[in-house]
Amino acid sequence: MDVNQKSMVKLAPIGANQQQMFNEYSKGKNLFLYGSAGTGKTFTALYNALQTVLDPSTPQKTVYIVRSLIPSGDINFMSGSINDKIELFQGPYEGMVTYMFEQPNEVAFSMLYDRLKEQGTLQFLPTSFLKGVTLDEAVILVDECQLLDFNELDTIMTRIGQDSRIIFSGDFAQANTDELGKLLRIVSNMKSFAAVEFSIRDIVRSGVVREYLIAKERS
C-alpha cells in the first residue's frame, strides 16, 4: 500500500520564524530559508513539501532533494559505487521522514524512506546529475545550498519546470564565499519568493547540541 497524506503526523511550527515559513509556503511562495544550524529549516521544508505532493488536489507529484555530495561537487575520489556514494548522503532525510508519518510497526518505519522513493513521492538528486534535466510537477528542496557556487545555483533555478516550486535551505555561516548571498539578492526581487532568516533563538535541538550551536554562533 502506498504511503499517503492521511498517514502524515500533524506538526505545528516552533517559533515565529518557522511560523512565517509555514505561512509563506501556504501562500504558494517559493522559499529561501537561511540562518543558524539546528533551527529545523530542512525538516520543516521537507515536511511541507511532502504534504504538498501527497495532496491529490495539487499538481506537484514528487519532492526532489537536491544537494552537492561534497563541497567540491566531485564524488569520484570517494570509495564505492555511485549508488553507494549517493546512499551515504540520504541518511539524514531517511531519519527525518520517520518523524513525519504514523506507521504500524518498526519494520514499516524502517522501510518508509524506500517506499516513498519507490512510489515516486521522493527522489534524491545530486547536483552533478542536473544538467539537461527539467523538473516538472515537483517541489525541489535544495539542501545545504551554501556548498554550491553561483553557477550551480543558477543551473538549479533554470531546472524548475511546469507546475514546480523550489525551496532553498542553507547557512551563510558555513559558506566560504558570497555565492549564496548573490542568489538571495536576486530572489529578493522576485515576487514569487519569500526569504526567511533563522537565528540562534530558533534552534530546536536540545541539550549539549543546542548549547554548542549557540556558543559557536556567538564566538
Q: Domain-by-domain residue ranges, the chain? A: 15-218
Q: How far apart are CA 90 and CA 113, in angstroms?
A: 9
Amino acid at 13: P
40-54 tens-digit pLDDT: 999 999 999 999 999
**The three three-digit cell numbers of residue 121, written as one number:** 513521492
Nearest of 98, 97, 101 to residue 8 by alpha carbon: 101
Angle in degrees, 0-180, between the axes of helices 15-26 and 41-53, rounded to the nearest 10: 30
Q: Is 6 helix (H, G, I), strand (E, B) or coil?
A: helix
pTM of the full structure: 0.91
Cβ-based neighbours of 75, under 8 Å, separated by 6 or more: 69, 82, 85, 126, 128
pLDDT, residue 209, reads: 78
Q: How far apart are CA 53 and CA 55, in angstroms?
A: 5
CA distances from 89 to 94, 166, 170 (A): 10, 20, 16
Phi and psi, residue 158, nearest 5°: -85, 0
Least confident of 11-15, 43-47, 115-119, 172-176: 172-176
CA distances from 141 to 12, 81, 180, 201 (A): 20, 25, 15, 24
73 band by pLDDT with thresholds 50, 70 and 90: very low
83-107 tens-digit pLDDT: 667 888 899 999 999 999 999 899 9
Return the CATH class of domain 15-218.
alpha beta
131-162 tens-digit pLDDT: 889 999 999 999 999 999 999 999 999 999 99
Check whether 10 has a pLDDT greater than 90.
yes
Q: How far apart are CA 50 and CA 53, in angstroms?
A: 5
176 band by pLDDT with thresholds 50, 70 and 90: low
- Segment 166-171 mean pLDDT: 96
Strand 138-142 and strand 62-67: pairing?
Answer: parallel
Q: What is the average pLDDT score of the chain?
A: 90
CA distances from 97 to 94, 152, 159 (A): 6, 27, 25
Q: How far apart are CA 204 and CA 51, in angstroms?
A: 21
79 band by pLDDT with thresholds 50, 70 and 90: low
216 band by pLDDT with thresholds 50, 70 and 90: confident
pLDDT, residue 78, reads: 56
72 band by pLDDT with thresholds 50, 70 and 90: very low
**The three three-digit cell numbers of residue 21, written as one number:** 515559513
Instruction: Select the more confidently predicted residue: 65 or 75.
Output: 65
- Segment 15-20 mean pLDDT: 96
